[in-house]
Amino acid sequence: MKDLQLEFFDIPSPCKGVCKSDDRGYCQGCFRTRDERFGWLNFTNAEKQRVIKLCQQREKRRNQPKKVVAEATSRQPEQASLLDTPASDLLDSKVSSNDFDDFEL
């Protein structure tokens, strides 16, 4: 029934008066391509419906939060080179003399 009504009434242009193209070639206001904007008056109602659905999908896709490729927060430590100083040598070797006062051999 809805389709029958649409045949009696012309589908209005989705133009919002912005008329600037983004980097993908879509209008920033209505999300139509250049061809869709210039051919609107020659389209059939079915083609106009299709264009409006495409515009809604484009707007929804643009308004979705952008997926940020998160860097691995749990990076694996780099494997030490065989030429590097062993980690045990890198420890603080300063020991106070008070630590071994009661030590006997």
Residue 27 DSSP one-character state: B
The ranges of the chain with pLDDT < 50 are 1, 4, 6
In the prediction, which pLDDT does 104 show?
A: 72
Please report the pLDDT score of residue 7 as a whole number: 61
Determine the pLDDT at residue 1.
45
> What are the extents of the domains in the chain?
21-65
pLDDT for 101: 66
pLDDT reported for residue 34: 94
Is the pTM of the predicted complex or chain greater than 0.85?
no
pLDDT at residue number 71: 58
- Among candidates 24, 91, 79, which has minimal Cα distance to 55? 24
